[in-house]
Amino acid sequence: MAEQVNTQKEYHGVIGAIKHFKDKYPNIWQFIMFNIFSNVATITNFVVLWISDAALKNVDSAFSWWIFHYSTDQGGLGGFIAFLLAYVCSQIVNFFVQRKVVFGSHVQIRRVIFWYILTVTVAGIISVWLPPYIIGLTKPTIGGWAPTVANIVNIVVQVAINWPMMKFVIMK
């Protein structure tokens, strides 16, 4: 009588439970990892925002161009530049972290750079346009924390745009 081969994997302990979840729900696992490793970009974003905001504190003239309107109460030109720099730096970091760590992609950058730039440009326009409105709503209640809250809202918007594009278009 031939022996039956057991093709099911055995999982033990916490690590085993994590491996089981990863094997059973690979897309959910990848989304979780995307969000965890997006924190590298998030940390970059906050650090650059805080440094830029401090460095550009005296650049406080009102700024209004196209759809971007930053009054002096909302950071003015310095606030606009700080949010823009924070976003650009975080997206550069995010591309490489997501490509290598989360998606394990070996896609050639030159083949996907157009889609990545388009994706982060759309998310970026929203992320640079939105803060003065969030700051205007929250500053009367939370004061100096308003830019941080605006940045958190930006991050949620960016995930909603970036995840599907990276998963289904860019890192394929």
pLDDT in tens, 153-163: 988 888 899 89
For residue 45, what are the domain limits? 40-170
Residue 1: its pLDDT value, please?
52
Q: Does any domain span residue 7?
A: no
Residue 103: its pLDDT value, please?
92
Residue 32 half-sphere exposure toward CB, CA atoms < 13 A: 8
Q: Does any domain span residue 84?
A: yes
Q: Tell me which DSSP letter residue 4 carries.
A: P
Q: How many domains in the chain?
A: 1
| pTM score of the predicted model | 0.73
Q: Does any domain span residue 16?
A: no
Q: Does any domain span residue 95?
A: yes
DSSP reduced 3-state for 67: coil
Q: Does any domain span residue 21?
A: no
Q: Which carries the bigger pLDDT value, residue 149 or residue 155?
A: 149
What mean pLDDT is predicted for residues 114-123?
92
Tell me the residue type at 23. Answer: D
Tokens of 62: 């009102």
Tokens of 45: 């974003």
